[in-house]
Chain A
Amino acid sequence: MNRARTEHSETEHARIEMVMDKILAGEEELLPSSGFVGAVMDRVRQEAAMPAPIPFPWMKAIPLLLLAGGGIAWGTVEMVRAGVTGLSLNALGLTGLSQLKQSWLMFQLLQLSAVQMRSLEQAGWVALALGISLLSWLLSRRLVGSGGLL
């Protein structure tokens, strides 16, 4: 009985899908309007008349990006190293729990030498400049994209 019901259901599904196919495949064709080709060609000619877009200077940008990336990586390594040293000193000398609760970043900064501070500051500026560049690039891409130019 169940088998018969299943078979009946499958047959019914097949028939519905057949009707569906008939409806969805048997759609009338739209004829393009008479001015369509002209409108497309007008836009194409406009595009052809425009000067070619200036390509992004990847060849110049890649070395700079690599340099900046290296700077950031070096800065980070230096900072982590200084932080580890600072924490070790703290653990050995000043074991008070209240002091460990202090902001570890502030403590590390106090431990840094003048040279390290200068390097860190420079790395910070590079990171900031890179961040701003990235943001402006993303913003410009978004603006150009929403204008349909990409």
Chain B
Amino acid sequence: MNSATSAENSQADLADVERVLSGDAGAFEGIVRRWQGPLINMAWRYSRDRGRAEEMAQEAFVRAWRGLARWRRESSFSTWLFALAANVYRTELKRFPVETLPLEAAPEPAGLATQLHEMEERGRHEVLRRAVLALPMRYREPVVLFYFHEMDVAAAAHTLGMPEGTLKARLSRARTLLRQRFPQLDEEHDSHTSQKTHSVGHPHFSRSEIAEETGREAVR
């Protein structure tokens, strides 16, 4: 989103919020139209389930509607909305955790046909994305929000309401865990056009791996 569009959105958000607070419920539609894409995509990154992502985003909008008066104009509307949505998604996922078993149980993409290569690659990428969901929540959220905010550490830290340093540390731990789980990513990058089939690993992190990483963070 460029800065001009961003400024326009901020103005429109402010105007809509004022109208809603003065009793015009219909003005909330403008906010929903502007932010439906980002909120659904953020929920998608949390759940990797399209239907659930829309339900979670809907819940976030309803909570935003209820709590609109609590938005203090200190931060931008989008920052407030993303932080609220992150809270809603976290609560939803605690109540009904993401089920990752079906994908893990699915057979690995295999075969040497050229036309299957792209599909295999997509499958491998999806396994990595799902592996993010297998991380403990303290590491998962920084990863999800870091990439959702197009690798903007400050924005991700704002959404999570934590210092940038903490976010960076957790991000680093999460990447280490993922790197250890997917050492073949480098190889994949090298042989982008080859027909070689790689094992994608299992998107589960053992307790010892997590404990080891958590321990390291605690020591530091």
- Answer whether residue B8 sits at the interface, using C-beta atoms and an 8 A cutoff: no
B95's closest neighbor in chain A, by CB?
A146
Neighbour of B143 across the interface among A24, A36, A47, A48, CB < 8 A: A24
Do A47 and B66 contact each other (CB < 8 Å), given the known contacts A12-B186, A16-B182, A36-B54?
yes
Neighbour of A37 across the interface among B29, B178, B185, B186, CB < 8 A: B29
Neighbour of A44 across the interface among B36, B61, B178, B179, CB < 8 A: B61
Do A37 and B147 contact each other (CB < 8 Å), given the known contacts A20-B179, A30-B44, A48-B25?
no
**Best-buried of A29, A33, A44 by chain B (most CB within 10 Å):** A44
Interface-located stretch among B111-119, B125-133, B206-214: B125-133
| Chain B 11-42 interface 0/1 with A at a Cβ cutoff of 8 Å (1 = within) | 00000000000000110110011001100110
In the complex, what distance in Å separates the CA atom of A40 from the CA atom of B30?
Answer: 12
Neighbour of A24 across the interface among B25, B32, B147, CB < 8 A: B147
Q: Is the beta-carbon distance between B50 and A16 smaller than 8 angstroms? A: no
Please tell me the number of chain B residues within 8 Å of chain A, measured between CB atoms. 39
Do A25 and B147 contact each other (CB < 8 Å), given the known contacts A15-B186, A40-B58?
yes
Q: Is the beta-carbon distance between A37 and B36 smaller than 8 angstroms? A: yes
- Answer whether residue B175 sits at the interface, using C-beta atoms and an 8 A cutoff: yes
Q: How many A-B residue pairs have CB under 8 A?
A: 88
Shortest Cβ distance from residue A112 to the other chain B in the assembled complex, whole angstroms = 50
- Answer whether residue B160 sits at the interface, using C-beta atoms and an 8 A cutoff: no
Please tell me the number of chain A residues within 8 Å of chain B, measured between CB atoms. 29
- Answer whether residue B53 sits at the interface, using C-beta atoms and an 8 A cutoff: yes
Do A41 and B28 contact each other (CB < 8 Å), given the known contacts A23-B128, A29-B37, A32-B54?
yes
Q: Is the beta-carbon distance between A37 and B32 smaller than 8 angstroms? A: yes
In the complex, what distance in Å separates the CA atom of A30 from the CA atom of B59?
Answer: 18
| Chain A 16-51 interface 0/1 with B at a Cβ cutoff of 8 Å (1 = within) | 111111011101011111001101110111011000
B residues with CB within 8 A of A: 25-26, 28-29, 32-33, 36-37, 40-41, 44-45, 50, 53-54, 57-59, 61-62, 65-66, 125, 128-129, 132, 143, 147, 150-151, 175, 178-179, 182-183, 185-186, 188-189
A residues with CB within 8 A of B: 12-13, 15-21, 23-25, 27, 29-33, 36-37, 39-41, 43-45, 47-48, 148
Enumerate 19 A-B pairs (CB-CB under 8 Å) in ascending A order.
Answer: A13-B179, A16-B179, A19-B186, A21-B147, A21-B151, A23-B125, A23-B128, A24-B132, A24-B143, A25-B150, A30-B37, A30-B53, A32-B40, A37-B32, A40-B32, A40-B58, A43-B62, A44-B65, A148-B59
